[in-house]
Structure 1
């Protein structure tokens, strides 16, 4: 191609690209930036984490530009409804009370509870019957403690001021199992802990619907577009590729509820 022709072609392409970028749709995304590994502010000042990577993939699928901002957790729903951003991506649990104020996407992960047990016990399940007489630890005041007290009355329940203390006691063999968030246990195991492993089924408290992206009540069109893009990245493997960077286990499958496993 003649040099002048190549220069003109290059200039034309650059003009088209810059015009396209200038007119690209921009969606403002709000997050907390203080809930690693889901959302946090890096040393460079950029927001990073699982929430950010998932929503960035959604934006790419929608062919829109993401513009990020951080907000205090306590005022994040009012900030969304005040128009400071368009979508909230902050690992917010979908609850009936929150659904009165905002709309949510379909869940993009579930924060389930699960038992971890000493490997030497050889447990294959975690039911009230199979754990009869065993010592189970968790953090005082946690929802896991409530589950243990309501459904595992024939086990010895040990409550700890800090979850790390329960983990240390299991490593030392002073408790047989710990019940907690699968994410918390997974983070602990990822530090090279070899004493213990997950056992039994994971579960949610009744009424828990997973974590969702939030929208203003009147932004139903944007909500639908995001749900469609979320479904696409799940189907084409993008979601699972991102998930594997952060977690060595599935976080998307619909788990059972406590009442399904252990009754009311």
Structure 2
């Protein structure tokens, strides 16, 4: 299962910044779910960094605005945009039909596969109903992976949902 990562709505913010009818932008507020290494996270010194952060800062520099990063937990990231808490989302968001009904997307800029992790002692070489029966699966709430696990394994496994990837 591949995860399409997008600069959700950054293109819209850029277009708005150059539109004759839009407000003048000195800064663009970008919603981001931290931590999600290596895409966005804080260093030991507390500095916000990662691929999405570096790319967003480069895009903002290119159009002559300052990026203002607004941290938001994943399950509230689209509602935060709709409430105008920020102008765009740049936080490794998978493009799917449900989200397309709510927000506009840029072109994908990276593809990243999902991964399963389990203690080696479980000896699970393939994720299927038989190997996951009776197990507990942890996922980040509201993600593509949450939907996949719920659709495919909720009848045989317990699902624990977490607000962050940590």
In which range does the TM-score fall when normalised by the shorter chain? 0.5 to 0.7
Larger RCO (CA under 8 A, 6+ residues apart): 2
Separation in structure 1 between the aligned mates of residue 111 and residue 34 of structure 2, nearest angstrom: 19
Deviation of 1:113 after TM superposition, in Å, equals 6.3
CA radius of gyration, larger in? 1
How do 1:39-188 and structure 2 match up within 5 A? Answer: 39-112=40-113, 137-139=125-127, 145=128
Which whole-Å deviations, capped at 9, do the CAs of 1:10-36 have from their partners, x for residues lacking one? Answer: xxxxxxxxxxxxx97210111011211
Which whole-Å deviations, capped at 9, do the CAs of 1:26-81 have from their partners, x for residues lacking one? Answer: 10111011211111122332221111111111112212111111011111100011
The 8 Å contact of residues 26 and 64 in structure 1, kept in 2 or not, is answered as yes
Separation in structure 2 between the aligned mates of residue 37 and residue 162 of structure 1, nearest angstrom: 25
- TM-score, normalisation: structure 2: 0.54
Separation in structure 2 between the aligned mates of residue 79 and residue 103 of structure 1, nearest angstrom: 15
SS in 2 for 1:44: coil
The 8 Å contact of residues 39 and 52 in structure 1, kept in 2 or not, is answered as yes
Deviation of 1:162 after TM superposition, in Å, equals 8.6
Separation in structure 2 between the aligned mates of residue 48 and residue 73 of structure 1, nearest angstrom: 17
Q: How many residues align?
A: 107
Query: Which segments of structure 1 move beyond 6 Å, counting only runs of 4 or more?
Result: none
Unaligned runs of at least 5 residues, structure 2: 1-23, 116-123, 138-166
Separation in structure 1 between the aligned mates of residue 105 and residue 32 of structure 2, nearest angstrom: 15
Deviation of 1:159 after TM superposition, in Å, equals 5.3
Deviation of 1:108 after TM superposition, in Å, equals 1.2
Separation in structure 2 between the aligned mates of residue 57 and residue 108 of structure 1, nearest angstrom: 14
Which whole-Å deviations, capped at 9, do the CAs of 1:118-168 have from their partners, x for residues lacking one? Answer: xxxxxxxxxxxxxxxxxx8134xxxxx48xxxxxxxxxx8559599xxxxx
| RMSD across aligned positions (CA) | 3.0
Which structure: greater helix fraction?
Answer: 1
